[in-house]
Amino acid sequence: MGQNSRIIRVIHQNDYGCWVALCAPSTDRQVDFRLHCADAFVFLSVKEGWGLVVLEAIASRLPTSVSQQAPFTEFLTPEQTLFVNPFDLEAMAQKIVQSIQPSITHALIQNSQSVIAQYSWKASATMHISHYQRFIHARNPL
């Protein structure tokens, strides 16, 4: 049985269906709506290239729980998100419950806001230009 099937089974066995929404790839409008309605954002991807949707959740002032692996461990700290092993269903459930505890929610939201400024559109463009310039220079040293 695959991981998604196991997660769905646990959700149904524990009657969490009204509390948990498993979301497939979505339009921008659907993402905005879901983030607006959510109490917490859980993203347990094992194949993520970067994690832009996590930044969207942080910008929406949601506490986040993410896979304890790159790329998330490269730009988030344990003070900014709850890291979880995406293959441990019990740990996953515990982190989800933790993430909606008021004191933890508040701390995660407050601590994660600095990440937004770090990855603004302007900051991202500046980083891209710098990387491209280093790449071009390395290929064509003068």
Say what the pLDDT of residue 142 is: 61
Split at pLDDT 50, 70, 90, the class of 92 is confident
Check: CB of residue 22 under 8 Å from CB of residue 41.
Answer: no
The listed CATH number (3.10.350.10, 3.10.20.30, 3.40.1710.10, 3.40.50.2000) that belongs to domain 3-115:
3.40.50.2000
What is the pTM (predicted TM-score) of this model? 0.78
Q: Work out the angle between the directed axes of helices 102-118 and 89-99 (0-180°, nearest 10).
A: 90
Q: Where are the domains of the chain?
A: 3-115
Q: Is the pLDDT of residue 114 over 90?
A: yes
- Which of 7 and 94 is assigned the larger pLDDT? 94
Say what the pLDDT of residue 4 is: 66
